[in-house]
Amino acid sequence: IDKGAALLQPHLDGFDIRTLLLAAPDDATAAAALTRTSLTQPALFLVSHALANRWLALGVEPTGMIGHSIGEWVAACLAGVFPLDQALRLVALRGRLMEAQPTGAMLAVSLSETEVSQDLPAGLEIAALNSPHQTVLTGPANQIDNHAARLTQQGITAVPLRTAHAFHSASMQPAADALEKELSQLTLFPPQRRWVSNVTGDWITPAEATSPAYWARQLRATVRFGDGINTLFAEGPS
């Protein structure tokens, strides 16, 4: 955490993210700051990366990895696609780009992909497929609110997420394009560990892992996390 926080500071205008990570549980200012995407994403990455390295230090070597959205960047870093300093710079950039996009909303719905697609209003998209019957929708706030009310009237559980943006929606395309442009100037390295792609729900390929277009798509596309879990389970215990 200390190493990563120091590496992050130049990319957070000198801010030390440990101020938020180590804040008291009742610190409302820190809690509010952590709702900002430009800080949330580096914080998530840093804690996840540190936890994974703790397991590695204990001798636990993964035969496969999976992460959810920003978690896939952690997997890629652990696999050697990005060195840590570069990964932190890119994650900070990704957070700033996403925060700069128009506001929106997201909604967790207890329906399958097929069920939710049958009654999906124009303008709303599927942001994530977390399990066979857990889907996250994304789009403009007023449309999310209206659809949530409709689903609730039908007896379907629909829970708004605490977010100010419509992540993994068309509104994020400018951020994806800018990220791809930045990545195209860098060298990405073939993965030395396996992980499951959020985009395909299958094992990442070297071509995908080293493609700037893949990481742009990963920002914008549906997170097929449930499919990825099935891919891991299909291998059985190792």
- In tens digits, what is the pLDDT along the chain, a chain of 238 residues? 999 999 999 999 999 999 999 999 999 999 999 999 999 999 999 999 999 999 999 999 999 999 999 999 999 999 999 999 999 999 999 999 999 999 999 999 999 999 999 989 999 999 999 999 999 999 999 999 999 999 999 999 999 998 989 999 999 999 999 999 999 999 999 999 999 999 999 999 999 999 999 999 999 999 999 999 999 999 877 6
**Two tokens, residue 106:** 């997201």
* Exposure class string for 79-89: b at 16+ Cβ within 10 A, else e: bebbebebbbb
Alpha-carbon gap, residue 108 to 138, rounded angstroms: 9
Residue 58: φ, ψ to 5°: -85, 0
Left (φ > 0), alpha (ψ -120 to 50) or beta: where does 13 sit? left
Note the pTM of the prediction, 2 decimals: 0.95
Closest CA to 1 of 33, 70, 57, 47: 47
Q: Look up residue 149 and give its amino acid.
A: A
Q: Please measure the distance between the N-terminal and C-terminal CA atoms of the chain and give it in whole angstroms.
A: 30
46-1-195-220 Cα dihedral, nearest 10 degrees: 10
Residues 215 and 184: beta-carbon distance below 8 Å: no
CA-angle at 55, arms to 35 and 22, nearest 5°: 35
**Two tokens, residue 67:** 């992460």
Alpha-carbon gap, residue 172 to 233, rounded angstroms: 31
